Structure 1
Amino acid sequence: MKNTLYPIKFEPILKSKIWGGEKLKNILNKSSQVKNIGESWEISDVEGDTSIIANGELKGNSLKQLLSTFKADLIGEKNYVEFGNTFPLLIKFIDAKEDLSIQLHPNDALAAKRHNSFGKTEMWYVMQADPDAKLIVGFNQPMDSDTYNKHLEEKTLPEILNFDNVKTGDSYFIDGGRVHAIGAGVLLAEIQQTSDITYRVYDWDRVDEAGNRRELHNDLAIEAFNFNMPDNFRVSYSKDENKANLMLNCSYFTTNYLNITTPIIKSNTHDSFLIYMCVAGEITINANGFSTTLKAGETVLIPAALKTVNLITENATLLEVYV
């Protein structure tokens, strides 16, 4: 592997889902012959689903190989001390043609204890939503385990859940232990810890093509719930042009919103990689003498060693992510 770093794009890992649709192909131009594509994993170090580099002289190498070779030059000194040869984030685009299951994720402590894994804290940015499309996040009333279990047993769980109508630009923070689901008609970008642990608690009583229902994880889920969370899951942020607008700063990642209408130079002052997810428009990214184009639905990783990035466009919207 050559010792040159540049803006790195990866081959999308496309996941067929019972609830998936056609927007990842028709709107975000993901190439696949498979139907019902629900997720495009853009950057992944999940075991069994490691991203493969799609551009430049490192094309064909895996993210795992990249990290083990370049170490702190790829992800930053403090990140390499904390995470070693594990990339800390999983980056996705998700298309829900039908409602996803009602679910939650364990926090770090429970995930480490049960699964030898990170927990799964995540955030969503809505890229497109059909009329009356909704997200489920949290409960619509104060909640405790007895009340929750009563509704679960009686199959009236939706009665106590919070449904939000959503539109393009809406953003949500989903920390471990909070119940949630993506509703039918929503296309979104997802940023999360590197983990694929989900506890499914209700799946709308649907069956697959073979007539089988998907597995539920209610015995595992009940201990993972945090019933005392405040309703602070809606992300408010500014949309000033040609600057980084802070959306979310949590223990696991920071996300900024960039609405770019003129070429700008970005300095990476963080001891971290940068990730740019293009959620609208098209942009050319130059760094270290290497140029790559990013269209809506594409993602690029800027190694930590690259401290200056030129963003060239007349109209693009990016999510900028770092740890």
Structure 2
Amino acid sequence: MLVLEPIVHETIWGGPRLTPLTTTGETQIGHLYSVYARKELSNKILNGAYAGKTLQEVRPDFPLTIALTEADKDLSLQVHPDDEAAQKLEQLARGKRESWYFLEAPESGNLVNGCCLKDMESIRAHVAESDYEGVLDYLPVTVGDYVFVEPGTLHAISAGSLVYEIEQGADFTYRFYDYDRVDAKGNKRELHTEKALACLHPDLKSVVRRYNVEEPIVEATYATQLHHDLNAYENKQDKDICFTLLKGQGKADGVELHPGMTVIISPGERIIGLAVQEAMTAWLTI
């Protein structure tokens, strides 16, 4: 098994709710990455023969990204490319798929979910006038809801949300609009309006689902399963499982586990001595 050290990522829209899960004191945290493997950034391994190495060194380009994501402010309006668009626009094999499990609900009770307009000509006209509100549709969400975002869906997490987030595929997104926000240096973030429009499927919308007891939610490329009240966990599958602690504590291979940490568990491996109120497991289905 691989016990991973989370990575703190501050953002323009992040906040302080994840600060207690860190030792470094940042107060504008957008992502606490518990699984992240890229050449430019990767989790450090805390246990075993690979202790001190990074996940990228040991498992190059590990296909899942997992994080706790806090939205102190609304996130940018964005679209993820599907596989075809990623190949055409970025020469990458896969687009981006993601899901959210809501640990805390948005203040508004809604997230941005697709378009209220169905024809691209009307959408382009509204975008040209910066009338994004005239394009947006919304989805009510609450604590415990699960939402999968199909590539091509216009979407955004709303202020107040705290989610377990899982992504598979390319590590990029196309921003429509970012509320004209500026960073500490007075710079606006880059927009990708034309690429976003090229990827947009106006008919796509997400739906809310809820986990059944001990039953996974399975998507085309990955699956997740919510767990409660665990004192041990064993990987009984024939593939790696990412075990993410959400509430509680424990140890894995001698390393103390805290909320926001992930252990990659190989087939047949077992974690014992857990005092877990809530955890999420995830694995590839391809």
Same fold flag (TM > 0.5)? yes
Residue in 1 that maps onto 2:10: 16
Taking the aligned partners of 2:143 and 2:249, their CA distance within structure 1 comes to 17
- Is the contact between residue 93 and residue 187 of structure 1 (CA under 8 Å) also seen in structure 2? yes
Alignment of 1:1-323 (within 5 A): 6=1, 8-26=2-20, 29-67=21-59, 85-117=60-92, 118-129=94-105, 131-139=107-115, 141-229=116-204, 231-238=205-212, 240=213, 244-247=214-217, 249-260=218-229, 263-264=231-232, 266-269=234-237, 271-285=238-252, 290-303=253-266, 306-313=267-274, 315-323=276-284
Shift of 1:300: 1.2
CA distance 1:293–1:162, change in 2 (3 Å): farther
One-letter amino acid of the counterpart of residue 237, structure 1:
Y
Taking the aligned partners of 1:293 and 1:127, their CA distance within structure 2 comes to 22
One-letter amino acid of the counterpart of residue 245, structure 2:
C
One-letter amino acid of the counterpart of residue 258, structure 1:
H
One-letter amino acid of the counterpart of residue 265, structure 2:
I
Taking the aligned partners of 2:153 and 2:262, their CA distance within structure 1 comes to 27
Taking the aligned partners of 2:186 and 2:141, their CA distance within structure 1 comes to 32
One-letter amino acid of the counterpart of residue 58, structure 1:
Y
SS in 2 for 1:158: coil
Shift of 1:154: 2.2
Shift of 1:104: 1.0
Residue in 2 that maps onto 1:73: none
- Is the contact between residue 201 and residue 216 of structure 1 (CA under 8 Å) also seen in structure 2? yes
- Is the contact between residue 46 and residue 194 of structure 1 (CA under 8 Å) also seen in structure 2? no
Shift of 1:18: 0.9
Aligned residues: 283
Shift of 1:319: 1.0
State the Cα deviation string for residues 74-133 of structure 1 (Å, max 9, x = none): xxxxxxxxxxx5311111111111111000111122213332333110000111236435
CA distance 1:107–1:165, change in 2 (3 Å): same
Gaps of 5+ in 2: none
Superposition TM-score, scaled by structure 2 size: 0.89
One-letter amino acid of the counterpart of residue 245, structure 1:
E
Higher strand share: 2
- Is the contact between residue 101 and residue 200 of structure 1 (CA under 8 Å) also seen in structure 2? yes
- Is the contact between residue 133 and residue 184 of structure 1 (CA under 8 Å) also seen in structure 2? no
State the Cα deviation string for residues 242-289 of structure 1 (Å, max 9, x = none): xx3222x122111111112x53553422x310001122223445xxxx
CA distance 1:31–1:116, change in 2 (3 Å): farther
Shift of 1:160: 3.1
Taking the aligned partners of 1:232 and 1:22, their CA distance within structure 2 comes to 28
SS in 2 for 1:124: strand
Taking the aligned partners of 1:52 and 1:194, their CA distance within structure 2 comes to 21
CA distance 1:36–1:232, change in 2 (3 Å): closer
Superposition TM-score, scaled by structure 1 size: 0.80
Q: What is the root-mean-square deviation in Å for CA atoms of aligned residues?
A: 2.2
Identical aligned residues as a percent: 29
Shift of 1:54: 2.2
- Is the contact between residue 123 and residue 173 of structure 1 (CA under 8 Å) also seen in structure 2? yes
**Further displaced range: 49-58 or 192-201:** 49-58
Taking the aligned partners of 2:210 and 2:117, their CA distance within structure 1 comes to 23
Taking the aligned partners of 1:112 and 1:273, their CA distance within structure 2 comes to 27
